[in-house]
Amino acid sequence: MATVVSSIGLKGMEGYQVQVEVQLLPGDGVSIVGLPDASVKESKDRVMGALYANGCEVLDKKIIINLSPAEQKKNSPIFDLAMAIAVMKEANEIKDNIPEIAAFLGVLSLDGSIKPVEGMLPAIMAARKEGFKILYLPRLEDIPIETVNGLEFRFVQTLQEVIESFSGQISAFSLPIKSSQKPIELPPPTYDKDFKHVLGHKQAKRALEIAAAGGHNVLMVGPPGCGKSLLSETFPSILPPLKQESRFEVMSIYQLAGISQQNVSAPPYRSPHHSASAVSLIGGGTNPKPGEVSLAHRGVLFLDEMAEFPKRTLDMLRQPIETGKVTISRAASTVTYPAQFLLIGAMNPCPCGYMGSRNYYCTCTPKQVTAYNNRISGPIQDRMDILLKLETVSLENESTADNETSEIIRGRIIKAREVQYQRYGEEISNAIVPNEKLLECTILTEEQEKMMRSWASKYNWSTRVQMKIRRLARTISDLNGDENITNQSIWEAVTIRRTQSLRQPRGMVK
């Protein structure tokens, strides 16, 4: 009869239960089966070294370790602890029963000490989802697991501590199961920049407030030095702090990518250079890792000089923008990472940057301007909710005295977000709610429907653009505290969406 001990395997962000089955047969050697990769195959030497250091010798036995389900590829040394416990139990070195509701996570050193590995947080969340109640794992310094409900954590440093905890000789340092669903509030995030110090750009600030309230994508077009980068870098200061589940999602992605996080409660802000490759932006590699679109999950992806990005790379953003996730297929495996981000793009109006400027002459020909704008493909522009034109601000008549702080703006946005969460029954914003649910919860009057049809015909709007107008109007009404969509909110939505289009319908002159 084989001994079975449970652990957790990872496939991208998705975790699943792995049963470590161990059987001792006459002979010698260690064999690991169940599609292990190199890091898992090397576990046999680590496990045998740790067992020898703890006085467990099985030199005269053939050890077969099966990782079930056998059809899933295993690609992490996280199973080391479960393997060692199963071997010791099968060799009768452990007399006490092993809890069936327990899972074991951690990599072993040759002296029997237990260390964490990459991806511990997604493994913990998967263990909770799989129904485990007890987790044996090493102490994690950078993960606030005390906020995880429904699990008892038993922190162990060595194999000997695990064995002794089974018999009750010593109690591993543990955090008991918490059934309360009330999330623990972390200190509010801090920001380096504040909208109070941004001079002018009142229309742009209003548009960005709408974007933050509803999660809408923004494309900013303006000459060099007009404030595009400043506005985008200040934008995270008006976003609501991450809720608990969103925070865990973001932390899991950063763990898998091997990147440390400084401010865990603040939405992430990613700003890749326009020379970034498609793999770094979308994700990939031999063993697929998260890209910038996933690192910006629940936050902001800012593409400065957007027209300088390769067109092929930009077009790869279509799927993540539309679905909120990205699927990476490689010969080794196929993984899916979440990629629900707010996209902010910034670009010049022409190659020289000064078309329409009041201070400089534009030296570009119409053909050059058209070619430059065509670098942003129609489908990508179609997915941008707000098209915002910026101009250089004269500082002579501007002052910070009347400017609202980011904290005041953020307060309005948090209220608007809560209205959306209550309306849709989940943590979802107007920008990404499914069309069916939006139409069900957002009913226009007959006059408003007629008005929308008239504008759609006049400006040749696609169906997607028409839905984006409706989404923007719903967000503006939420910000204004209106229960139903008003004519004023529709007009404002049309204004910030229509007037700055990079392309105009044939025959239309502005």
HEC string for 415-440: HHHHHHHHHHCCCCCCCCCCHHHHHH
In order of start, what are the domains of the chain with their CATH numbers? 3-175 (3.30.230.10), 195-433 (3.40.50.300)
Identify any residues that bridge with 104 across adjacent strands, giving them in sequence order. Answer: 136
The pTM of this model reads: 0.87
Q: Over 60: is that where the pLDDT of 505 sits?
A: no
Handedness of CA 245, 249, 255, 260 (dihedral sign): negative
Instruction: Please choose, from the candidates 78, 73, 50, the residue with its C-alpha nearest in 3D space to the C-alpha of residue 135.
Output: 78
Q: Residue 115 gets which letter from DSSP?
A: E
Burial status of residue 323 (CB atoms within 10 A of its CB: 0-12, 13-18, 19 or more)? middle
Give the pLDDT confidence score for residue 275 in this predicted structure. 92
Length of the chain: 510
User: Could you read off the pLDDT of 169-210 as tens digits, one per residue?
Assistant: 665 566 666 555 555 566 678 888 999 988 888 899 999 999
Give the pLDDT confidence score for residue 499 in this predicted structure. 46
Give the pLDDT confidence score for residue 264 in this predicted structure. 83
Q: In whole angstroms, how far apart are CA 243 and each of 222, 349, 492? A: 34, 38, 30
Cis-peptide, bond into residue 505, ω within 30° of zero:
no
With tokens 């696609």, the residue in question is 462
Give the pLDDT confidence score for residue 510 in this predicted structure. 36
Expressed in angstroms, the distance from the first to the final Cα of the chain is 81
Alpha carbons 252 and 335: distance in angstroms, whole number = 14
- Nearby residues of 126 by Cβ (< 8 Å), 6 or more positions away: 8, 10, 14, 15, 16
Give the pLDDT confidence score for residue 89 in this predicted structure. 93
Alpha carbons 279 and 290: distance in angstroms, whole number = 9
Alpha carbons 412 and 446: distance in angstroms, whole number = 30
Instruction: Please choose, from the candidates 247, 242, 213, 216, the residue with its C-alpha nearest in 3D space to the C-alpha of residue 411.
Output: 213
Average pLDDT of span 65-89: 93
What burial letters (b/e) apply to 204-222, b meaning 16+ CB within 10 Å? bbbbbbbbbbbbbbbbbbb
The two tokens of residue 217 are 């994508």
The two tokens of residue 98 are 């092993």
482's enclosing H/E stretch is: none
Per DSSP, helices labelled H in 324-388 are 366-373, 378-382
Alpha carbons 219 and 473: distance in angstroms, whole number = 18
User: Could you read off the pLDDT of 265-303 as tens digits, one per residue?
Assistant: 899 999 999 999 999 999 988 778 899 999 999 999 999
Q: What percent of the chain has pLDDT over 70?
A: 93
Give the pLDDT confidence score for residue 171 in this predicted structure. 59
pLDDT top residue among 510 and 483: 483
Average pLDDT of span 389-399: 79
With tokens 């920049």, the residue in question is 193
Q: Over 90: is that where the pLDDT of 490 sits?
A: yes
- In this structure, how many other beta carbons lie within 10 angstroms of the beta carbon of residue 11? 18
Q: Could you tell me the pLDDT band of residue 369, with boundaries at 50, 70 and 90?
A: very high
Looking at this protein, which amino acid is placed at residue 222? G
Give the pLDDT confidence score for residue 500 in this predicted structure. 45
Q: Residue 77 gets which letter from DSSP?
A: G
Collapsing DSSP to helix, strand or coil, 496 comes out as helix
Average pLDDT of span 7-19: 92
Q: Over 60: is that where the pLDDT of 164 sits?
A: yes
User: Could you read off the pLDDT of 310-353 as tens digits, one per residue?
Assistant: 999 999 999 999 999 999 887 667 889 999 999 999 999 999 99
User: Could you read off the pLDDT of 423-469 as tens digits, one per residue?
Assistant: 999 999 999 999 999 999 888 999 999 999 998 888 888 888 899 99
E strands in 12-96: 14-26, 29-33, 61-68
The answer to whether 174 and 141 are in contact (CB under 8 A) is no
Give the pLDDT confidence score for residue 184 in this predicted structure. 55
